[in-house]
Amino acid sequence: MTDTLTPVLTANWADDRAWTLAAYENQGGYQALRQALQMTPDELVTLVKDSGLRGRGGAGFPTGMKWSFIPKDNPNPTYLVVNADESEPGTCKDIPLMMASPHTLVEGVIIASRAIEARQAFIYVRGEVLHVVRRLRAAVREAYEAGHVGTDIHGSGMDLDIVVHAGAGAYICGEETALLDSLEGRRGQPRLRPPFPAVAGLYASPTVINNVESIASVPAIVRGGVSWFGSMGTEKSKGHTIYSLSGHVKRPGQYEAPLGITLRELLDLSGGMREGAELKFWTPGGSSTPILTAEHLDVPLDYEGVSAAGSMLGTKALQIFDQTTSVVRCVLRWTEFYKHESCGKCTPCREGTWWMVQILRRLDRGEGQPGDIETLLDLCDNILGRSFCALGDGATSPITSAIRYFREEFEAGMTTPSSELFPPSRSTLFATTVLAGEGATS
């Protein structure tokens, strides 16, 4: 039985100057690299495969298996690309990781590059996080200076270059093939698959794209081993992971725990809901994962548990909303986001998100028309599974799930503005009281 919280990735975040090479090496950093340099690429792939590590960026695909898809006979160079474009609404784990301990990611990049025999790696970080870009660039520079990156790394014969690449503001670039187009200097629009990136990715060459947290988990797996990693988590969702709590809780923040912890446990740890508040709805893994309610407090937050509850673990971004919050207002805002970020390549997503916003706006104003709810569901039906990439699918999640659990609020949108039913000032961080609307500041 492991402890309730198991800091591994977050363990050094409170250390003095944790972002520096010296601080990182003081607490065991780059030991895993030395071990990995004694191992063959195949051994590393097998290790990560056997560990059961699954992608932490949303899809949960087994990381080691992704690595094993790289063909051995392709004449082109192999590339590793780290997806550090953390933009899924609610998701806020990779940014603090790279801010506090960029070397954890850099060490993971070197080990992963050895595993897939890549001599060039890229860290594609979203542009809107200046200090994180600084910390990443400095960490890569320090790693070069220490001989952890560059040519003939520690006499192993391994060569590796790492480039930190800042994006320019586009949620869609978190979709891995759009990210590749963006990294090639193009508009970030998703590509048709197959061919998969493992065969024809960056520069039409074999490419592995992994999330920050996935890659950052690798050094500890190398040091701890398969059974160490598997001693945390559940049968099919192994290991430790970062849960991000935000919204109407007393102590929002990052909580690293074995996979399978429940929201009830996390809420207990975080001091519960804010004063006077009751849980109304929450996202288990960002806005693209269907919302859940208080009846799901005991759902194990692992890939299988959340899926069985009708949602997805996603990025483990737990956005918590209390009874002061209008579901219609939230769903409208999320839908406006998807409309804004739709890349325009495919019709269902480009047109569908636009129409959904029109309908949700009038429901939010209390000017909904008979049949609006049915039209929304019909639109979702025409987007889900019919758009080019997962952005379109994700755009339908908040709508269909919110109508499932809170249909009456959408019906109220035929007559009453959401701001009358749920005055926005009561939901804010700076509202003085939650239950007594009169006492709230505005």
Partner 1 sequence: MTTNDPAQSPLPDSVDGMVTQTPTDPADTPIGPTTLAELKELAGRYPQARSALLPMLHLVQSVQGRVTTEGIETCARILDLTEAEVSAVATFYTMYKRRPMGTHHVGVCTNTLCAVMGGDEIFERLCGHLDVGNDETTADGAITLERVECNAACDFAPVVMVNWEFFDQQTPESAIDLVERLRAGERVASPRGAQITSWREAERVLAGFEDGRVDEGPAAGEASLAGLRIAQERGWQAPSLEEDSGTGRGGETKQEAAAEADTQRAESETVAEQSPADVEGGADDD
Segment 117 to 146, residues that bind partner 1, using CB under 8 A: 120, 126-131, 133-135, 137-138, 141
Residue 316 makes contact with partner 1 by CB under 8 A? no
Residue 51 makes contact with partner 1 by CB under 8 A? yes
Residue 226 makes contact with partner 1 by CB under 8 A? yes
Q: Which of 314, 368, 392, 413 binds partner 1 (CB under 8 A)?
A: 314
- Least distance in Å: CB of 368 to partner 1? 19
Q: Which of 39, 297, 377, 414 binds partner 1 (CB under 8 A)?
A: 39
The CA distance from 63 to 210, in Å, is 8
Residue 276 makes contact with partner 1 by CB under 8 A? no
- Decide if 215 contacts 93 (C-beta within 8 A): no
For partner 1, which is the closer residue by CB, 52 or 300? 52
Q: Which of 78, 234, 241, 427 binds partner 1 (CB under 8 A)?
A: 427
Sheet architecture: strand order including 240-247: 253-258, 240-247, 317-322, 279-283, 292-293
- Least distance in Å: CB of 361 to partner 1? 10
Identify residues 54-93 at the interface with partner 1 (CB under 8 A): 54-55, 57-62, 64-66, 77, 83-92
Distances in Å between the alpha carbon of 212 and those of 157, 176, 228, 418?
A: 26, 13, 21, 38
Cβ contacts of 266-274, under 8 Å, gap ≥ 24: 266/301, 266/318, 267/297, 267/320, 269/4, 269/5, 270/245, 273/248, 273/249, 273/320, 273/322, 274/248, 274/249, 274/250, 274/322, 274/434
Residue 256 makes contact with partner 1 by CB under 8 A? yes
Identify residues 359-388 at the interface with partner 1 (CB under 8 A): none
Residue 184 makes contact with partner 1 by CB under 8 A? yes
The CA distance from 40 to 308, in Å, is 38
Q: Which x/- pattern, by CB under 8 A, does the window 162-181 give for partner 1?
A: -xxxxxxxxxx-xxxx----
For partner 1, which is the closer residue by CB, 354 or 405? 354
- Least distance in Å: CB of 202 to partner 1? 9
The CA distance from 362 to 373, in Å, is 11
Q: Which amino acid is present at 271?
A: G
Residue 394 makes contact with partner 1 by CB under 8 A? yes
Q: Say how many C-beta atoms besides its own lie within 10 A of residue 383's C-beta.
A: 26
Residue 311 makes contact with partner 1 by CB under 8 A? no
Q: Which of 276, 344, 437, 439 binds partner 1 (CB under 8 A)?
A: 344
For partner 1, which is the closer residue by CB, 14 or 155? 14
Binding piece for partner 1, criterion CB under 8 A, among 292-300, 323-331, 363-371, 375-383:
323-331
Q: Which x/- pattern, by CB under 8 A, does the window 17-36 give for partner 1?
A: xxxx-------x------xx
For partner 1, which is the closer residue by CB, 264 or 350? 350
- Least distance in Å: CB of 8 to partner 1? 5
Closest-CA residue to 42 (of 70, 82, 81)? 70
Residue 240 makes contact with partner 1 by CB under 8 A? yes
| Token output for 298 | 């005991």
The CA distance from 293 to 416, in Å, is 23
The two beta strands, 161-166 and 207-211, are: unpaired
Residue 234 makes contact with partner 1 by CB under 8 A? no
Q: What is the size of the binding site for partner 1 (CB under 8 A)?
A: 166
In a 13 Å sphere around the CA of 332, the CA atoms on its Cβ side amount to: 21
- Least distance in Å: CB of 270 to partner 1? 7
For partner 1, which is the closer residue by CB, 370 or 442? 442
Which residues are within 8 A (CB) of 237 and not within 5 positions of it... i.e. 6 or more apart? 52, 54, 60, 259, 260, 302, 303, 304, 305, 313
- Least distance in Å: CB of 229 to partner 1? 7
Identify residues 96-115 at the interface with partner 1 (CB under 8 A): 96, 99-101
The CA distance from 27 to 424, in Å, is 46
Please provide the DSSP assignment of 87-156 as one string: -STT--SHHHHHHH-HHHHHHHHHHHHHHHT-SEEEEEE-TT-HHHHHHHHHHHHHHHHTTSSBSSGGGS
Binding piece for partner 1, criterion CB under 8 A, among 250-258, 293-301, 374-382, 407-415:
250-258
Q: Name the one residue in this structure whose structure tokens are 């780059």.
A: 30
